[in-house]
Chains A and B, each alone.
Chain A
C-alpha cells in the first residue's frame, strides 16, 4: 500500500521553489511596468534593454539563493551586478578590466546624469534613444529590480513591492500628456496580483491572504477604470500599444515648449494627411494662445459651444462683409497625433465626420475635444479663405473693442529692448497695418537666423518675456520666438495680437484619397505664428519666421505673387519633400538612427540576445510549469498515480533515458530502481509502481493512492542526483519530454520483461 502518512519532504527544496515562483512573479511585474513606459522613448531597444537588465538581476538573485548564498548578501551582490553592468555599458573603458568602476567611471555617470537632465528638457515624447536615456533606463531598471527583489523576497514582503511600482508609474504619468495608459495600469495591477498570489501559495496561508490580494487587485482595476474614463486617448500604452509613438500636443500648460521639443526630433514623425479644395496649401491651426502671463503664452479657457453634428460654426470675429471670402473644404486624416485641439484651416465654418464630442470656442474658433482626442479622427472641415486688400487693412479705425482689450495685455515690466525694437522697427509707419508689415519685415530682413538649437544652447528656450529679450539680441531662434516676439511687440504698439499654433501645410504627394494632391504633415511642420486683429477684417495671420511658411499676400502690397519661401531648405517646400507617402511605422522605427545614438546597435544586439535567450529558455519554463501543475494536481487530491508516472517518465526522458511506450511500468521501475541507492527512495518507487499498476490495471474503484506527490519527489530527487551536472543542465535547458514519444523515431525495441 502506498503510505497513508505524508512523507516529510525536504523543507529547503520547497523554499527554493517558492523563491523561484516569486522571482517569476517579479519578472512579470517588471514586464508589466515596462509596458507603461512604452512611448517614452522611440523604438524598442530601450524596452529590450530594460527587460534584459531587470531579468538578469532578478534571475541572478534567485540563482544565488538557490546556491545557498545568505539572503542578506543577495541585495549587495545585486548592487554589484548593476554597477558592473553600468560600468561595462556606459563607463567607456574607465573601469578596471572594464567592469570594476573607478572614480572616472562615476564621473562619467554623473556627466551622463546631467546630460540626461538637459535632454529630458529638450526632448518631447517619444524621445530619441540617446545614450543618456539608456543610462537612465539601465540605472532605473536596476534599482527597481533590486528594490523589488529585496522587498519581496529578502524581506518577504511582496505586498510592499507595490510601493516600488508606483514611482515607476509616475514617470509616464508626468511625461505623457494624458497620464498612464489604463491598460498598462491594469497590467501592472494584474502582475502585482499575481505576485501576491504567488506569495500566498508559497506560505500556504489560504484564504485571508488571497482575499487581501484580490481586494488589492480589485482596487487597482477600479483605479484603472476611473482613470480610463477621465483621461482621453485610450489607445496608447499597455502591451497593445507597440505602434504608438505619436505626437502629443496641447495637453500641457506650455504648448510652445512642447512644440520646440517636437521640432527638435532627430527625424520627423508623420502626423496627418489632408486634401484640400483650396488653390494653395493651408496652415492647419490648432488653437490660439491669447493669454500672455509674462512668462508663458496660454490658451485662455472660455465657455465653449457644443459642436452640433454636421452644423456650422459661428462666423469669425470682426469680419465684415466687404472682405472677399471663398469657401473651401479640407479632408483630414489624423494618423499619429494626440491633442485636445483639432487642426483645421482658420477660420473654420463647419466640421463633419468627427467621432466623440467636440466644442468650439466662439472667440477664436478653436475646436476642442470634450471627452475624446484627435487620435484616429477622419473629418472634413469647411473653412473660409479671407483675402483682404491692403486698403481694407489700412482702414482700421484704431479703436480696439472692449472684448479685445485682453489681447493687448503686456506686463508692466516688459523689457525695454522689446518696446524699443518695436518702435525702431515700425518707425515711419502710420497705420496699424503698416506697423504690422514693418514688424514682419523687420524679422525677415534683419539677419535673423532660424535655429531650433541655438535658444536651447544659450538657455532661452521658451516663450516668456526674458526669452524674447534674449532672442532679440541673439537674433536666432525658431517659430515660437519669432511669433511670440512679434505678438508682444504688436501688443506694445496697440495692435491686439495672439500666437497661433498648428501645422504648416506640409508636403504634397500623389493622392491616396480623392483626386487632389495629398499633403503629408510631419512633426517638423509644427509651427507657431502671430495673428493680429484688424477691425473690419478680424484676426489676420502674419509670418515673421525666417525661412518658414508662406508670407501672406496682403502683407506684400507691391507683389502679386504668393510664393512659399523656403531658402534654407528645411523641408517645407513641396518640391524638396519625398513624393512617397510616409508610413508612420517606418518613420518611427527608423528614427533615432542618427549619428548621436551610438548605443543603438548595442541595444539592438542586447535585445536580440534577450529574445533569443527567452526563446531558448521557453522549453525550460514550459517543462517546469508542467511539473508544477502535476505536483499541484497530485497534492490536491488522492490518486493521480498516472500523472505521477508521466512525470517520472518525462523526467527520465529529460535525463536522456530511452523510454518507450512499449515498456511496462514494472520494467521501467526496475530500471529506475537500479540507479536508486537510497532505501527510502526505493520504497517510494515501489509505492509509486504499485499505485500506477493498481490505478491502471486494478479493479476499478477500490484503490486510491495517497502521498503520491511525496513519493514522486523522492524518486525524482534520486534521478537528479544520479544524472550529474551536465545531465541536469541538459535536462533543464532541453527537456525532450515536451516532445511526445510518438513523435520521436523509435529505433530500439524493448527487451522482454520476464
Chain B
C-alpha cells in the first residue's frame, strides 16, 4: 500500500500531527462554521448549497454540482477544497481526456531500468472534477471506479487512496451540447447532487462590487487540517441514528421505487448514503442523533440524481431535476414520521 506525496505544495503552517479519532460536537460545529464562513466569503447568497456541500464533505461522500455554466459551481468546489488544508487536485474533463490522466500511469525509468508509477490526478484528498460530463464515458468510469473503491489499480498493482478522499464534480445539465450523460450506475456513486441556482439580485450586485477586480479565491486559505477533517468525519459517523429514523429512511426510499411517476427508484446504496448524510447534518446542527427532519432535508439532494421520471411525469419539461424534486417532496410529504415509538 503506497501513499503518495501531494502534487500541490502543502501549507506546513497547519499542524498535521494530531490525528484524533473523534472530535466534540461543539468543536465540530466551530470548525464547520469556519469552513462555511470561508466559503461564503467567496460565494454570496448560496447558504443552502454550501451547507449541503459541507454535509456531504463531512459524510465523506462525493458531491455532484449540476447547473448551467457560470453560476459558481467551480467556485464552490474550489473554495471548499481550499478551506481544508489537504491535497487538492483539479481535473478539467474534456472529450480527449484519457483514463490514465486520471488514475496515473506506469512509465519506464531508464536510469533505474524499471517501471515507475506516476500517480494521476485522483491521488489527492479532494479531487475537483470539472465538467465531468464532457469526458468520454471511458474516462468517466475510470474516475468513478476510484470513487467507489477508493483505490487505483494500474498494471496489476493496487494503490490505496489517502483518506479523506472526496470527489467534487461539476457538470452542466445533460441537455447542454457536448455532454455525455453520466450513466445511472455512475451517478449513483455520488452521495448528493446540488444545484447552485442563480443568485438573487442583491447577491449578484454585491458580487459585481466585490469580485470585479480580483479573484476572491486567492484571498482565502485553509481553516481546518486534513486530520481535523478526518476527526470531524469520525464524529459525524458516530452520530446515533435510531431505529425509527432508519425505518423512516427505508420507507422513503422504498416509496421512490413504488412511485408511479418514477421509472427508476433509489438504490439501497441511496438508503445508506441518505442516513450517512443525515448523520453529518445532525452533527453540523450540534446534535448527537438524527432527526427525521435531517432525512427530509437531504432527500432531494441525496435521492434526486438517482431517480428517473417516467416520460409522462416529465411531460413538457425540458429538465428532469425540477420534476424530480417535486416528486421527491411529494413522497416526503406522504411518508408518515414515526414519533414516540421508542422509549426514552
Contact = CB atoms under 8 A, between A and B. Distances in A.
Contact of B292 (A642, A664, A700): A664
A700 B245 CA distance: 13
A696 B333 contact: no
Given A697-B244, A698-B240, A749-B333, A642 B340 contact: yes
Interface string B331-344: 01111111111111
B244 A752 contact: no
Given A705-B344, A752-B296, A697 B245 contact: yes
A678 B288 CA distance: 29
B52 to A, nearest CB: 10
B49 to A, nearest CB: 12
Interface string B302-344: 0000000000000000000000000001101111111111111
A749 B245 CA distance: 20
Interface string B233-252: 00000001010110000000
Nearest to A746: B334
Given A698-B240, A754-B296, A693 B333 contact: no
B342 A695 contact: yes
Most buried by A among B244, B342, B344: B344
A112 B215 CA distance: 104
Interface in A419-477: none
Contacts of A751: 329, 333
Given A695-B342, A696-B242, A700-B343, A753 B293 contact: yes
Interface in B242-292: 242, 244-245, 288-292
Interface in A515-536: none
Contacts of B334: 662, 749-750
Interface in A3-38: none
Interface string B175-218: 00000000000000000000000000000000000000000000
B297 interface: yes
Contact of A666 (B291, B329, B333, B340): B291
Nearest to A703: B344
Interface string A637-648: 001011101100
A684 interface: no
Contacts of A225: none
A662 B333 contact: yes
Contact of B344 (A641, A663, A667, A749): A641
B336 A662 contact: yes
A704 interface: yes
B340 A752 contact: no
Given A642-B339, A662-B337, A749-B333, A693 B291 contact: yes
B297 A753 contact: yes
Nearest to A742: B336
Contacts of B344: 639, 641, 694-695, 698, 700-701, 703-705
Given A664-B296, A753-B296, A754-B297, A696 B338 contact: yes
Contact of A752 (B288, B332, B341, B343): B332
Contacts of B337: 661-665
A750 B333 contact: yes
A53 interface: no
Most buried by A among B336, B338, B340: B340
Contacts of A753: 293, 296-297
B215 to A, nearest CB: 32
Most buried by A among B330, B337, B338: B337
Interface in A660-703: 661-667, 692-701, 703
B242 A698 contact: yes
A641 B340 CA distance: 8
A138 to B, nearest CB: 50
Contacts of B291: 664, 666, 693, 697
A705 B344 CA distance: 9
Contacts of A692: 339-340
Nearest to B242: A697
Contact of A749 (B242, B330, B343): B330
B332 A699 contact: no
A233 to B, nearest CB: 54
Contact of A645 (B300, B329, B340, B343): B340
Contacts of B293: 664, 666-667, 753
A75 to B, nearest CB: 46
B292 A698 contact: no
Nearest to B337: A664
A752 B336 CA distance: 13
Interface in A629-662: 639, 641-643, 645-646, 661-662
Contacts of B244: 696-697
A459 B270 CA distance: 100
Interface of B: 48, 240, 242, 244-245, 288-293, 296-297, 299-300, 329-330, 332-344
Given A696-B339, A753-B293, 16 more contacts: A664-B293, A664-B337, A692-B339, A692-B340, A695-B342, A696-B242, A696-B338, A696-B341, A697-B245, A698-B344, A700-B242, A703-B344, A750-B333, A750-B334, A751-B333, A754-B300
Interface of A: 639, 641-643, 645-646, 661-667, 692-701, 703-705, 749-754
The list of the 10 closest CB pairs from A to B, nearest first, reads A642-B340, A749-B333, A750-B333, A699-B240, A698-B289, A695-B344, A661-B336, A697-B242, A664-B292, A639-B344
16 contacts: A642-B340, A646-B340, A662-B332, A662-B335, A664-B291, A693-B289, A699-B242, A699-B289, A700-B342, A703-B344, A705-B344, A750-B334, A751-B329, A752-B296, A752-B300, A754-B296
